[in-house]
Structure 1
Amino acid sequence: MNFIKRALCSVTRKKGKSLILFAVIFVLGNVIAGSIAIQQSTQNVEKNIKKQLGGMATIEIDYENNQEEVTAAEGKLEQLDEKLIKKIGESPYVKYYDYNASSWAETKDLKSVSAKEEEGFGMEGFSLKGSNYSKILDVEENKIKLLEGKVFTQEDIDNGKNVGLISSKVAEENGLSVGDQMVMDMRGNSFNEDGSKKELLKIDVPIQIIGIFEPTTVQMKDKENKETEQQNSNQQFVSLQQINTIYLPNKTVSDISKNYIEKMKKVDPENPYVKGAEENDGEYYTPIYILKSPDDVEAFKQETEPLIPKLYKVRASTDQYETIGGSMKKMSQISGYVVLIAVIATLLIISLVVLLFMRDRKHELGIYLSLGDKRSHVMGQIIIEMLIISGVALILSLITGNFLGKMVSESLLNSDILNSTGDSINAFGLDTLDSIEITTDDIMNAYEVKFSLGYIVTYLLVGLGTVLLSAVLPLLYIVRLNPKKIMM
C-alpha cells in the first residue's frame, strides 16, 4: 500500500484523533477568517472612498501646525512662484494641473445671484477665478458642466483676453447669453465708523461671454442622510460661491486686480485691501494638481514636500478619509493583530497536537521504516493527513468565519470603542478640493463584509501556509526516529 492510500485510511480509521485535529483547526480558522474578512473589508472601504474623492492635491500654507510662525510673518510669507508650480507639475504622478489667480469684484449693475434664491447668504459681487489651463480644470473634473459656448483657447490664456465663463443663473439674472459683451462694474468702497460704506470709485470691465456653465458636484443631500444644519449651511455657501464665479484667464484676473489697486490707492491710500496688496507684493497662485491615481497621493507628497517653501504643506482630497476614517483604521489594525496572534497560536497548537499524535504512532511509523519505506514517504503521509483534515476545516471556517467577522465588526462599529473621531468634516472649506463631502456615516455605510476572490485566496493561502509550517516540528520528529530502537 503506498503512502497516499495509507494517509486516507489513517484519517478515516482514527476518527477520534482526526476530529480533534479538525476541531482545533476549525476554531482557529474561524478566528483567522473573521479577522481577514474585517481587514479586507476595511481596506476596500478605504480604497473605494479614496477613489470617490479622487487624486487631487494642492499646496497651501500650513496654518494648523505653524500658527505662531505664520502670525509672526505678518503676511510676508514666501509665495509660490510659477517656476516652482510648473516644476512640480512635471512630476510623473501628475496627470494635468492648473494654478489660479483669484480676486473679488463687488458690483451693483451686474447682478449676482441673490441670497433670496439660495437662502441665508448676502453676496453682492463675483469671485474671479483665473486659469492657466485652457480646458479649465473644473470642467475637466466635472465640477462644472459647460452648457453653451466653449472654454478658453491657448491664445486667450497667453494674451490675457477679456473673455470669460459665467453660470446659467447669473446669465438668466442679467439676461446674458454666449457672445454678449458683459460689463462688470467693480466698485471701490470705504467704511465709516458707524459701519456704513461710501462708494469711492467705479471701474467698468468689459468681458465677452464665451461660455455658460452649471455647477454639478455641489448638491444638497436628502433629509434621509441626516445632514446637520451646519453641513447644509456650508454646502449652500459653497453652491452660492460657485454660481457667482466668473472664470477668466490668469493674466486677465491679475490685470483687473492691479488696475483696481492702483485706482484705489489714489482715492483711498489707507484702505486695508490696498495695504494688504502692497505687503504681499507679487502674484499669488493656488496650484491644483490632478494625479493619475489616488494611490499616488503619498508618493506625490514625499516627492513634493522637499521642494516647497517653509510653512507650506501638500494637501490632498484623500486627506478627508485620513481625518474621519479613524474607525476603519483602528478596526483594520485590530484585525491585523488578531490575524498575527491567531497564526502564531495555530502554529504552536497544531504542532503540539500533531507531535503528540506522532508519539502515539511511533510504533506504526517505526514498522513502516523497518520494512524499508522511505522517510520521505512517511513524511508525505503525515502531510497528506494534515492537508485533508485542515482542508475540510478551512473550507468550512471560510464560510462561518465570514459571518463571525460580520457580527464582530458590526458590534465594534456600534460600540464606543472606535468612535473617537468626529462625525463629519467640512470638505476642505471653499476651494477646488471641496467637490465631495464625506462623513463618517458615508464611510460606515460603505463598509460591508462579503465573500470576494481576494478574501478567499488570502485566507486559504494564510490557512494552508500556517498548517504546513506547523508540520515542521512533527516532521523533525520523524527524521529522528530510529526504527531499530522502536522495534526492540
Structure 2
Amino acid sequence: MTIIKRAWTAVTRKRRRSLTIALIMTLIFTLLIGTLTVQQTMAQLKQSVERNIRAGFSIASKQPSGEVPMDIAQRVQLLDKVKAHNFQSETTAGLPGKQLIDTAGSGVQLDANVAGEAKVTGATQSNLLGEFTGRFYQLEQGKHLGANDQNAALVHKTFAEKNDIKPGDKLDITKDGRRVTVTVMGIFSGKGEKPAVLQSDMAENHLITNLAAAQLLTGSKQLTRATYFAEHPHQLKSLTDRTKSLPNIDWKKFSLTDNGAAFAGVLQNIAGIQNILTIATIGAAAAGLAVLSLVLVFWVRGRLHEIGILLSIGTSKRQIIGQFLAELAIIAAVSSVFALGVGSVASSQISTALTAQTDQSQRIEKTVVQAAPIATYLQAFAFGYVVVLLSAIAATAPIMRQSPKQILAKLS
C-alpha cells in the first residue's frame, strides 16, 4: 500500500513529466487499437465479399444464336462442390395489348416488328440472374421466381406503371404463333449494364419468366446459358477445371466464363491491407518501445537522487522498481481511457470508408461495420502494456544492476 501511495504522489506532483509519458502511451495505445480494430473490420469485409459475390461460371455457345444442350448442363450440375445452378433461355417476344417503353433519344429508326418485341429471359431461379447478383436490378414488390413456379413472370416497374400491371395480373406473351399466359409474381427496378439501342435491350422492357415458359416460346428444350455457383470462392478454379475435363464435350463450340476476376482483385486488396495492418501493428509496437524506452531512461536518470535516498533508508531495489511500475501503471490506465475513445472513433471512420469503397466498387450489399469485439481491444491493451513493461525494464536495468554503493557514489 505504501508503494501505491508513493507512486500516486510521484505522478501527481510531477505533472509535466507524467503528462509527457501519458501522451506517448496514449499514442501507442491509439495506434494499436486502430490497427487491430481495422484489421478486424477487414476480416468482416472479406467474409461479406465472399458471402455476397457468388463465385461461379457460365457455359454458353460460341455461336450468336447457339444453344447449350440440356444434357451437358445437367452433367455439370451433378459435379461435386456445385452449390447452386441457374439455367436460362432467352428470346424476344411480343406482348399483345401492352405498350413497351420507348428508346427515347436513341436516334435509331427500327423495323416495327423488331422494335415492338420485349426481351424474355426464362430462368430456374430469377434471383441468380446476373442482373440481380450484380445488383443492376432490385426486386421492389412480390417475390423471386423459383424452380417450382409455373407460368410466372417478373416485370419492370416502369413497364408495370405504364400498363397498370400489379402482382397477380395475367400477361400474354407471343412468339411465332406460340402463346404463353403468365402471372406477374413480382416487380423489379434498375437499369441494364449496357446502353440500349433496341426496345428489347432496355431493362424496362425485360420480362423474366420461369424456364419452362421461355422454352415454350422458343419451342426448344435447350438453353441459352447455364450458370453454376461454387460453395466457396477458393473452389472455383478446381470446379472449372473439372468441368473442362468432362468427356464428350467439344469446348471449341462452347465458352466457359468464370467471375473469379470479379472478386479475386478485391480479396487480394483486402489481404494486402491486412498485411499492411499487421506490419503497422508490429511497427507501432516497436516504435513505441523505442521512444518510450528512451524517455524512461531520462526519467530514471533524473530520479537518481530519489533512488539514492530510498536506498540509503533501507528501501530495496524490488520496492523501488515496484513503485516505478506502479507509477507507469497509473499513467497507462489513464492513457488507455483516452486512447480507447480516440482509437475507436478513428478506426470506425477508416473502416466505414474502406467498406463503402469496396461495396460500391463490387456492387454488393452494403456491409454493416460492426463494433470490434472486446477481445480485440483487450489484445490492443495487452500489446500496449507489454510495450510499457519492456520499456520500463530497458530503462531501469542499467541503474538497478548497480550496487547501492555505486549509485550513492554518483550523488556525492
Q: Is TM > 0.5 for Structure 1 vs Structure 2?
A: yes
Give 1:355's aligned amino acid: V
1:101 alignment partner in structure 2: 88
Determine what percentage of the aligned residue pairs are the same residue: 17
TM-superposition CA deviations, 1:118-147 (whole Å, max 9, x none) = 7659854333333334x8657999932454
Task: Please report how far the alpha carbon of residue 301 of structure 1 lies from its aligned counterpart in structure 2 after TM superposition.
Answer: 0.9
Aligned to 1:305: 237
1:287 aligns with 2:232: no
Alpha carbons 2:92, 2:119 under 8 Å: kept: yes
- Counterpart in the other structure of 1:244: 206
1:23 aligns with 2:20: yes
1:182 aligns with 2:155: no
What's 2:183 paired with? 210
2:220 aligns with 259
Q: Which amino acid in structure 1 is aligned with residue 258 of structure 2?
A: K
Asked if 2 retains the 8 angstrom alpha-carbon contact of 1:30 and 1:401, the reply is no
Q: 1:5 to 1:255 in 2, by over 3 A?
A: same
Aligned mate of 2:102, from 110, 115, 123: 115
Q: Distance in 1 between matches of 2:87 and 2:344?
A: 49
CA distance in 2, matches of 1:364, 1:124: 96
Deviations along 1:309-333, whole A, 9 cap, x unmatched? 366434498x49939x98x999988
Partner of 2:247: none
Q: Does 2:271 align with 1:322?
A: no
Q: 1:30 to 1:372 in 2, by over 3 A?
A: closer
User: What's the TM-score, normalizing by structure 1?
Assistant: 0.54
- For the pair 1:469 / 2:372, whether they are aligned, the reply is no
Distance in 2, matches of 1:43 and 1:211, equals 44
Cα distance in 1 for partners of 2:162, 2:37 equals: 51
Report the equivalent of 2:250.
Answer: none
**Are residues 1:144 and 2:142 paired?**
no
Alpha-carbon distance in 2 for matches of 1:237, 1:316? 31
Give the total of aligned pairs: 372
Tell me, which stretches of 5 or more residues in structure 2 are unaligned?
A: 245-255
SS of residue in 2 equivalent to 1:57: coil
Offset at residue 476 of structure 1 (A): 3.7
- Aligned residue for 1:306, secondary structure, equals helix
**Aligned 8 A contact 1:58 1:315 in 2:** yes
* Aligned equivalent of 2:10: 10
Deviation at 1:103, TM superposition (A): 1.1
Cα gap change, 1:353/1:181 in structure 2, threshold over 3 Å: closer, same or farther?
closer
- Alpha carbons of 1:400 and 1:108: their partners in 2 closer, same or farther (altered >3 Å)? closer
Distance 1:451 1:284 in 2: 43
The 1:242–1:315 alpha-carbon spacing in structure 2 relative to 1, beyond 3 Å, is farther
Deviation at 1:485, TM superposition (A): 4.6
Using the size of structure 2 for normalisation, the TM-score is: 0.62
Map 1:446-485; keep pairs closer than 5 Å.
Answer: 460-477=381-398, 480-483=401-404, 485=406
Q: Which amino acid aligns with 2:187?
A: E
Alignment of 1:39-438 (within 5 A): 55-60=52-57, 81-85=73-77, 87=79, 97-107=84-94, 109=96, 113-116=100-103, 120=106, 124-133=116-125, 143-147=138-142, 154=148, 163-167=151-155, 178=168, 180=170, 182-184=172-174, 186=175, 203-216=176-189, 218=190, 240-241=202-203, 243-249=205-211, 251-254=212-215, 256-257=217-218, 259=220, 284-287=225-228, 300-309=232-241, 312-315=257-260, 319=263, 322=266, 340-362=282-304, 364-365=306-307, 368=310, 375-396=317-338
Structure 2 residue matching 1:115: 3-state secondary structure: coil
Counterparts of 2:406 and 2:292 in 1: how far apart (Å)?
Answer: 27
Question: Could you say if the C-alpha distance between residues 12 and 334 of structure 1 is closer, same or farther in structure 2, counting changes exceeding 3 Å?
Answer: same
Aligned to 1:143, the other structure's residue is in SS state: strand
The alpha-carbon deviation at position 214 of structure 1 amounts to 1.2
Distance 1:77 1:6, change over 3 A: farther
Give the direction of change, closer, same or farther, for the CA distance of 1:469–1:232 in structure 2 (3 Å limit): farther
In structure 2, relative to structure 1, the CA distance for the partners of 1:52 and 1:8 (3 Å cut) is same
User: 2:9 corresponds to which letter in structure 1?
Assistant: C
Distance, in Å, in 2 between the alignment partners of 1:303 and 1:357 is 57
Query: Judging changes above 3 Å, is the alpha-carbon distance between structure 1 residues 24 and 169 closer, same or farther for their aligned structure 2 residues?
Result: closer
The alpha-carbon distance between structure 1 residues 361 and 321, as it changes in their structure 2 partners (threshold 3 A), is same
| Residue type at the aligned position of 1:241 | A
* Aligned residue identity for 2:124: N
Residues 151 and 233 (structure 1), Cα distance of their counterparts in 2 relative to 1, 3 Å cut = closer
Task: Report deviation, 1:480.
Answer: 2.7
* CA 98–403 in structure 1, closer or farther in 2 if over 3 Å, else same: closer
CA contact (8 A) 1:58 1:286 kept: no
Q: Return 5+ residue gaps in structure 1 as ranges.
A: 63-69, 92-96, 187-202, 220-229, 261-280, 292-299, 428-433
Matched residue type, 1:55: N
Change in Cα spacing, 1:209 to 1:29, as seen in structure 2 (3 Å) is: same
Find the aligned partners of 1:403 and 1:259 in 2 and give their Cα distance: 60
Q: Distance in 1 between matches of 2:41 and 2:146?
A: 39
